[in-house]
């Protein structure tokens, strides 16, 4: 092919390629221009778009999803502002700042009120670059005048539980974690108002939350003795007033800000002083890792008229007591495998005039919460234990009675009865279990009954209460008991087994001068069981037996006066005059059936006579019918030939001399001949080490023969 022809073809191919490149460049330029124009148009549209046109769609969508009314009733808008805190080129990227005014969130249909939450205005900013990483990042939200109304009706329906329309879908999504994450750094507001109305807890409380203006250091509020370090500053203050459980409630305190609320390492500070009726609670401390409920570390002070009132505030079932005050360290673990665990450690305080110290743990486990730990009293006043068993005695009982009256509890004690009729509150025993050990080192009671070294192990499980052991030191000896109260039954069933050993008479009756020369002891056993919700009801239905043995004692009218037995004054006076008479042995073996105590054996062997008591005592109607048959050991006491009687009620007994023929000499001895078995049963109460000195050995051996 000639060279000029090749040159022409090559030139035309080059020209064609240049034309194609020029055409492609023009197309690319047009595409870029159109894209830029679209971006500009989008920016202009976004900048000039009336966002209020989206309100109906937003309101309807949110209302449908929440199953309750939602409305933005004011202006809705978006402003674009550069974030100058961002590094490098990021500071040139505009961030959308959204604002909405007059926002209302309503209640579900079964709540009578219309509005749950109202905001005058809400502002928030969103990071656009974070969306590229599938993260919704909101650095701050500002709320103006937030107003929340929390309501619970009598049928336990509330407005803070949300029934979402897509709850079923959410359950499926929980199995497949979302790739998106959410982050909120701070919430700011000028003043918040919260109303809490609860028909179940009989509450109507209003709370205001305000910024402090200037952060307050934690140590300035907690004091220098607080051991916590690194807690954030207080940012908000709050005040509350109203009623809770039909009692007046007042409270105030301080809280940290949202920045410390998000922190996993900086404790979130809390401080509160609350008064509900006569109960006062002061707390100062911190919450660790609040977003994940890491735990609480608080110093807590409680005080009030009775510990029973704390149940409504804390959910911990405690006994009815005289006025109290405690101060201790509370640590809470919310994410324990068995449920939330509350450790109230190294607390000190008092109940009535008794001091208390110890550590308790409350675990919110299944099937019931449980309270466990150890409590000690170095000086225990027995009168302060009275309300625990339904007996109002001693200082502090009046305040306790007033507190019970304020709660609507009234005494059921009849005017003509002596046994305690106040009822045990067993209906709440099944709300929790307990395993608590209690010891009282020094016990203050009275000179007439010296007690020491109280120890008991209390177990409450499924509504049943067990005290095993219940141990006292009494008059140089000891009293050991096991008490079981089955509160799960209606009426309650109770059982008590008691064993008294080596109670020294001179210590048991320190006010009797003649008894101070006595070397005698008192020993006894009792086993009783009955049904009822008071001490009186339990005794009125009781079955069991009582055995008592006393040797080498003294009986006199002065002794009867000290122990408060007015009828005893009469009987002793009729038998012995005003003289003190030595008792070689006193033995009793009583049988109880349906509240009726019958004497198998009840005998006093004195220097001058053998005195046999027979008859019965009825705990159901608190009446007695006893016969006292004396048998003189000599001719000096002629009056012993006449038998006596004691009848009437416990409160108003009657005593006198029986009319009729005189007892034949030796009648008492004949009666004792029929009590071989009861006498033999009492020999077990004599310790082997006391055989040589115990006068009851000879008396009981003679009865057996």
Please tell me the predicted confidence (pLDDT) of residue 636: 46
Other CB atoms within a 10 A radius of the CB of residue 107 amount to 18
Average pLDDT, the chain: 78
The answer, yes or no, to whether residue 515 has pLDDT greater than 70, is: no
pLDDT of residue 220: 84
Q: With a cut of 60, say whether residue 227 has pLDDT above it.
A: no
Model confidence at 13: pLDDT above 70: no
Position 531 pLDDT exceeds 90 = yes
Contact present, 610 and 623 (Cβ < 8 Å): no
Average pLDDT over residues 189-215: 89
DSSP secondary structure, 192-229, as one string: EEEEEEETTTTEEEEEEEEEEEEEE-HHHHH-TT----
Question: What percent of the chain shows pLDDT beyond 70?
Answer: 73
CA distance 86 to 94: 11
Q: What is the pLDDT of residue 662?
A: 47
Domain ranges (residues) in the chain: 42-159+179-200, 545-557+579-704
Most confident residue range from 56-65, 87-96, 501-510, 651-660 = 56-65
Q: What would the mean pLDDT of 452-459 be, rounded to a whole number? A: 88
- pLDDT category at 666 given cuts 50, 70, 90 is very low
Q: What is the mean pLDDT of residues 621-643?
A: 70
| C-beta atoms surrounding 539 within 10 Å | 20
- The pLDDT confidence band at residue 196, using thresholds 50, 70 and 90, is very high
Distance of CA 460 to the CA centre of its chain: 13
Max avg pLDDT among 76-85, 148-157, 509-518: 148-157
User: Residue 624 is inside which H or E element, if any?
Assistant: strand 623-632
Closest to 422 measured CA to CA, from 454, 397, 449, 453: 397
Q: Closest by alpha carbon to 275, among 353, 365, 370, 205?
A: 205
Q: What mean pLDDT is predicted for residues 323-333?
A: 91
pLDDT greater than 50 at residue 671 = no
Residue 334 has pLDDT above 50, yes or no: yes
Q: What is the pLDDT of residue 480?
A: 92
Residue 299, pLDDT above cutoff 70: yes
- Report the pLDDT value the prediction gives residue 542, as an integer from 0 to 100: 93
- 5 class by beta-carbon count within 10 Å (0-12 exposed, 13-18 middle, 19+ buried): exposed
Q: Give Cβ neighbours of residue 403 (< 8 Å, ≥ 6 apart).
A: 278, 304, 305, 306, 309
Query: What is the arithmetic mean of pLDDT over 255-284?
Result: 85
Residue 512 CA to residue 509 CA, distance in Å, equals 6
* Residue 389 DSSP code: G
551 pLDDT above the threshold of 60: yes
pLDDT reading at 78 higher than 80: yes
pLDDT at residue 408 greater than cutoff 60: no
Report the pLDDT value the prediction gives residue 422, as an integer from 0 to 100. 80
Q: Supply the DSSP string of 128-186, one letter for each residue.
A: HHHHTTTEEEEEEEEEES-EEEEEE-TTS-BSSS---TTHHHHHHHHHS--S-EEEEEE
- How far apart CA 365 and CA 433 sit, in angstroms, is 10
How far apart are the C-alpha atoms of 204 and 637, rounded to whole Å? 77
CB 222 within 8 A of CB 249: no
Mean pLDDT of 164-184: 64
Q: Which of 235-244, 373-382, 565-574 has the lowest mean pLDDT?
A: 565-574
- Tokens 């200037």 belong to residue: 214
Q: Is the pLDDT of residue 184 over 90?
A: no
pLDDT band at residue 484, thresholds of 50, 70 and 90?
very high
Q: What is the pLDDT of residue 221?
A: 82
Highest mean pLDDT among 23-32, 111-120, 376-385: 111-120
Cα(21)–Cα(24) distance, integer angstroms: 5
Residue 251 pLDDT: 93
Query: Which residue has better confidence, 606 or 45?
Result: 606
Distances (CA, A) of 547 to 286, 498, 618, 702: 58, 10, 17, 18
Q: Does 291 score more than 50 pLDDT?
A: yes
3-state secondary structure of 324: strand
Query: 3-state DSSP call for residue 274?
Result: strand
129-133, 227-231, 469-473, 570-574: which is most confident = 469-473
Look at 183-197, 548-562, 680-694 and tell me which has the smallest mean pLDDT: 680-694
Q: What are the CA-CA distances from residue 101 to residues 55, 186, 191, 626 (Å)?
A: 11, 20, 16, 88
Q: What is the pLDDT of residue 673?
A: 43
State the Cα–Cα distance between residues 394 and 404, nearest whole angstrom: 16
Three-class secondary structure assignment of 511-569: CCCHHHHCCCEEEEEEEEEEECCCHHHHHHCCEEEEEEEEEEEEECHHHHHHCCCHHHH
- pLDDT value, residue 398: 47
Rounded to an integer, the average pLDDT of 353-365 is 89
pLDDT score recorded for residue 17: 54
Nearest to 503 by CA among 560, 582, 586: 586
As a whole number of angstroms, the distance between CA 105 and CA 72 comes to: 9
Q: Give the pLDDT of residue 629.
A: 82
Give CA–CA dist 218/514, Å, rounded: 67
- What share of the chain has pLDDT > 90, as a percent? 21
String of DSSP letters for 420-482: --PPP-GGGGGG-EEEEEEEEEEEE-BTTB-EEEEEEEEEEETTEEEEEEEEEEETTEEEEEE
The counts of H helices and E strands in the chain are 15, 31
pLDDT class for 242, splitting at 50, 70, 90?
A: very high
φ, ψ of residue 266 in degrees (nearest 5): -95, 115
pLDDT tens digits, residue range 557-572?
666 655 555 666 667 7
Give mean pLDDT, residues 123-137. 85
pLDDT for residue 477: 85
């Amino acid at each position: 092919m000639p060279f000029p022809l090749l040159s022409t073809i090559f030139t035309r191919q080059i020209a064609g390629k240049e034309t194609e490149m020029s055409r492609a460049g023009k197309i690319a330029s047009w595409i870029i221009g159109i894209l830029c124009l679209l971006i500009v148009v989008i920016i202009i549209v976004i900048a000039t778009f009336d966002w209020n046109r989206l309100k109906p769609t937003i309101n309807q969508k949110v209302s449908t999803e929440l199953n309750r009314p939602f409305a933005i009733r004011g202006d809705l808008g978006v402003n674009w502002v550069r974030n100058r805190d961002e590094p490098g080129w990021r500071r040139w990227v505009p961030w959308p700042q959204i604002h909405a005014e007059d926002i209302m969130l309503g209640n579900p249909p079964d709540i009578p009120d219309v509005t749950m939450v109202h905001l005058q205005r809400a502002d928030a900013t969103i990071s656009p670059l974070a969306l590229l990483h599938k993260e919704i990042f909101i650095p701050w939200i500002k709320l103006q005048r937030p107003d929340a109304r929390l309501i619970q009706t009598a049928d336990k329906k509330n407005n803070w539980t949300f029934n979402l329309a897509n709850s079923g879908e959410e359950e499926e999504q929980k199995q497949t974690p979302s790739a998106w994450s959410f982050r909120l750094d701070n919430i700011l507001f000028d003043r918040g108002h919260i109303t809490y109305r609860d028909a179940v807890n009989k509450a109507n409380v209003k709370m205001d939350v305000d910024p402090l203006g200037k952060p307050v250091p934690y140590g300035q509020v907690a004091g220098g003795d607080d051991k916590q370090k690194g807690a954030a500053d207080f940012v908000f203050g709050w005040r509350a007033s109203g009623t809770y459980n039909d009692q007046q409630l007042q409270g105030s305190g301080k809280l940290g800000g949202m920045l410390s609320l998000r922190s996993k390492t900086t404790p979130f500070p809390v401080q509160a002083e609350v008064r509900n009726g006569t109960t006062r609670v002061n707390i100062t401390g911190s919450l660790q890792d609040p977003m994940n409920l890491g735990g609480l570390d608080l110093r807590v002070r409680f005080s009030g008229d009775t510990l029973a009132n704390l149940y409504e505030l804390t959910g911990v079932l405690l006994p009815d007591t005289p006025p109290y005050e405690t101060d201790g360290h509370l640590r809470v673990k919310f994410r324990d495998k068995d449920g939330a665990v509350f450790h109230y450690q190294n607390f000190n305080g008092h109940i009535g005039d008794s001091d208390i110290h110890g550590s308790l743990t409350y675990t919110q486990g299944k099937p019931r919460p449980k309270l466990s730990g150890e409590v000690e009293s170095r000086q225990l006043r027995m009168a302060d234990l009275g309300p625990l068993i339904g007996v109002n005695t001693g200082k502090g009982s009046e305040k306790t009675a007033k507190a019970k009256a304020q709660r609507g509890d009234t005494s059921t004690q009849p005017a003509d009865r002596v046994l305690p009729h106040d009822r045990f509150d067993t209906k709440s025993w099944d709300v929790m279990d307990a395993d608590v050990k209690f010891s009282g080192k020094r016990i203050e009671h009275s000179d007439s009954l010296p007690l020491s070294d109280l120890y008991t192990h209390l177990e409450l499980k499924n509504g049943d209460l067990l005290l095993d052991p219940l141990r006292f030191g009494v008059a140089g000896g000891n009293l050991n008991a096991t008490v079981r109260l089955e509160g799960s039954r209606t009426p309650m069933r109770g059982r008590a087994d008691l064993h008294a050993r080596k109670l020294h008479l001179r210590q048991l009756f320190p006010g009797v001068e003649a008894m101070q020369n006595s070397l005698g002891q008192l020993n006894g056993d009792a086993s009783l069981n009955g049904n009822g919700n008071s001490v009186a009801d339990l005794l009125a239905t009781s079955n069991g037996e009582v055995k008592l043995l006393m040797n080498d004692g003294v009986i006199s009218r002065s002794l009867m006066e000290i122990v408060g037995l007015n009828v005893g004054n009469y009987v002793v006076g009729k038998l012995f005059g005003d003289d003190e008479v030595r008792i070689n042995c006193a033995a009793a073996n009583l049988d109880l059936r349906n509240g009726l105590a019958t004497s198998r054996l009840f005998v006093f062997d004195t220097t001058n006579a053998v005195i046999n008591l027979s008859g019965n005592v009825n705990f159901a109607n608190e009446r007695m019918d006893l016969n006292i048959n004396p048998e003189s050991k000599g001719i000096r006491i002629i009056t012993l030939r006449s038998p006596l009687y004691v009848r009437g009620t416990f409160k108003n007994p009657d005593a006198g001399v029986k009319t009729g023929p005189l007892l034949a000499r030796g009648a008492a001895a004949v009666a004792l001949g029929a009590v071989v078995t009861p006498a033999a049963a009492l020999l077990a109460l004599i310790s082997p080490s006391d055989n040589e000195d115990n006068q009851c050995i000879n008396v009981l051996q003679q009865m057996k023969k």
